[in-house]
Amino acid sequence: MKKIVKNPLVILAVGVLIVAASSVGATRAAISYSNKADQVNFSTAKLQVELQEKQGDDYAVVSDEDSLTFPAIAEAMKTNDSDKSNDIPFTVGKKYDENVRVVNTSEGGYDEYVRVSVYKYWKDGKNKDTFLDPKLIDLEVANGWYEDKTAETLERKVYYLAKPLAYNESHDFIKSVTIGNEVLTYVKTVDGDKTGVVVDEYQYNGKTFYVEIMVDAVQTHNATDAIRGAWGVHAEVDDNGVITSINGAAVN
């Protein structure tokens, strides 16, 4: 019997980027960090997948009660809230180690194939700012994931875990988060309040970046049919159950 996923898990992480300029130009930036999570429970009769984040020495389930925190960035913000007003600890272009993984928590001990869709975008207040570049929100993805380039848009990337994820096993997904240096160089020059005055506006100043992750899973039994039925893609699978191609493209 086919298991078709209808309700993926959705995690939403939010950070506000504030660009700081000096007399020699924009050289540093700070992030005022906040976050929240919205969850639609994913489950079928027997299949279930969970998203977890490393917080301290342990992994925590990401849910409405225990949200995604990006602890390395959050820790930097604690320093930023101190009395060191001239020392901004968060650095644009720096890679912050953040560990987010998927876990097979299926009832009955079933193996499963896992897909993750990532959406990245910027907002100005409540409105999405489509002129700003989602690529500057750089998520380092762990090994073992195949990126489906045919499903890619400016905001979306889709990844498949080629090897089946065994019951109660985990696989890393996000390894780090970086905000690209280009946020400090994207400047628009406009007329100021007074005639003859020119003002440089940093276009990412005060904007909010969003990362939305959707993770779902399908059964390994009758893999090709199950994957096509749930995800609408044609997958080739070898004798060990490893996905070797997606829509004709080799999975390396």
pLDDT in tens, 228-243: 999 999 999 999 999 9
The parent domain of residue 202 ranges over: 9-221
pLDDT digits (tens, 9 = 90+) for 106-141: 888 889 999 999 889 888 888 888 989 999 999 999
Instruction: Of 20, 34, 64, give the one whose Cα is nearest residue 211.
Output: 34
Whether 77 is in a domain gets the answer: yes
Residue 133 lies in a domain: yes
- With the CA atoms of 156, 162, 163 and 167 taken in that order, what torsion angle do they form, in degrees rounded to the nearest 10? 30
* Residue 231: its H or E element: helix 223-231
Average pLDDT over residues 194-206: 65
**What is residue 34's predicted lDDT score, i.e. its pLDDT?**
37
Count Cα neighbours of 87 within 13 Å in the Cβ-side half-sphere: 6
Whether 241 maps to a domain, the answer reads no
Tell me if 126 is assigned to some domain: yes
Judged by DSSP in three states, 217 sits in strand
Contacts (Cβ under 8 Å, ≥6 apart) of 44: 3, 4, 5
Q: How many CB atoms lie within 10 A of CB 4?
A: 14
This prediction's pTM? 0.78
More confident residue, 193 or 59: 59
Q: What is the pLDDT of residue 224?
A: 93
Distance spanning both ends of the chain, measured CA to CA: 29
Q: Is 140 a domain residue?
A: yes
| 11 contacts: CB under 8 Å, gap ≥ 6 | 37, 38, 39, 51, 62, 68, 212, 213
Q: Provide DSSP, 117-152.
A: EEEEEEEETTEE-TTS-GGGEEEEEPTTEEE-GGG-
Domain membership flag for residue 244: no
Residue 205 belongs to some domain of the structure: yes
Concatenated DSSP letters of 59-115: EEE-SSSS----HHHHHHHHHHTSS-TT-----TT--EEEEEEEEE--TT---EEEE
As for how many domains the chain has, the answer is 1
240 found inside a domain? no
